Chains A and B, each alone.
Chain A
Amino acid sequence: DAGVIQSPRHEVTEMGQEVTLRCKPISGHNSLFWYRQTMMRGLELLIYFNNNVPIDDSGMPEDRFSAKMPNASFSTLKIQPSEPRDSAVYFCASSLSGTGNGEQYFGPGTRLTVT
């Protein structure tokens, strides 16, 4: 089975441009998580969805960030306008909530560079 799929793997954009990151969770999983990882701040949870509904977006840094999950097999994280401080690796993860060990399966990440 395919794991979590993220695209693009690398994105380089100029300050002020809109950036859209995409994620396809593992089929059958009903929870989806967006994380950001930087050297300074480590792995931070931005937002998570359960059954396509946003449950906790308290980690979203500011209004420039938005996330959607229109169906169980697709989610997007959008940054508009992007800034250099948004440069990071963005991970999407999915899990089957309610399972015993609560294992999250991570995608390979999108490395975003904003110049």
Chain B
Amino acid sequence: TQLLEQSPQFLSIQEGENLTVYCNSSSVFSSLQWYRQEPGEGPVLLVTVVTGGEVKKLKRLTFQFGDARKDSSLHITAAQPGDTGLYLCAQRGYQKVTFGTGTKLQVIP
């Protein structure tokens, strides 16, 4: 099982600021998923990326998969308090998913 490291661990920003969080592995991902977990709830899937260099957008969120498929980033434009939560990257295997260490984001109004 490969280790998925996320950075930063914690991030506190003001509403309206931009931010980027990262997910890295020493091994190649077959595919990668990003989840968001709000306080008191379970994680919810945001996106799956499969192809090296792939970029996907979800409103103000932009997800990029590294060319070598060993890293990924999530960029949020003009963060809002509703973006507050724990962001988890995850490697999708055939049947199970291995989660990263997570980035806890707080957006202050």
- Closest A residue to B40 by beta carbon equals A108
Contacts of A71 in B (CB 8 A): none
Chain A's closest residue to B98 (CB) is A45
Interface residues on A, range: 20 to 34
Q: Are A102 and B48 in contact (CB under 8 A)?
A: yes
Docked complex Cα distance between A56 and B45 (Å): 22
Given contacts A91-B42, A106-B43, A107-B42, whether A31 and B95 have CB atoms under 8 Å apart is yes
> Which residues from chain A contact B45 at a C-beta distance below 8 Å?
101, 103-104
Return the CB mask of B35-50 against A: 1 if under 8 Å, else 0. Answer: 0000011111100100
B54 CB to nearest chain A CB (Å): 13
Q: Is the CB of B42 within 8 A of A109?
A: yes
The 6 closest A-B pairs by CB, nearest first: A106-B42, A43-B99, A101-B48, A103-B45, A102-B92, A91-B42
Count, chain B residues at interface, CB 8 A: 18
CB distance from B67 to the nearest CB of A (A): 21
Among candidates A50, A107, A108, residue contacting B95 with C-beta atoms closer than 8 Å: A50
- List chain A positions with a Cβ less than 8 A from chain B: 4, 31, 33, 42-43, 45, 48, 50, 55-56, 91, 93, 97, 101-104, 106-109
User: Is B102 part of the binding interface, using a Cβ–Cβ cutoff of 8 Å?
Assistant: yes
Q: Tell me the B residues contacting A by CB distance below 8 Å.
A: 33, 40-45, 48, 88, 92, 95-102
Q: Chain A residues with Cβ under 8 A from B95's Cβ?
A: 31, 48, 50, 55, 97, 102
Jot down 12 A-B pairs with beta carbons below 8 A, ordered by A: A4-B42, A42-B100, A42-B101, A48-B95, A93-B42, A101-B45, A102-B97, A103-B33, A106-B41, A106-B43, A108-B42, A109-B41
- Not counting A33-B96, A42-B101, A106-B44, a sample of 6 additional A-B residue pairs whose C-beta atoms are within 8 angstroms of each other reads A42-B99, A45-B96, A48-B95, A102-B97, A106-B42, A108-B40
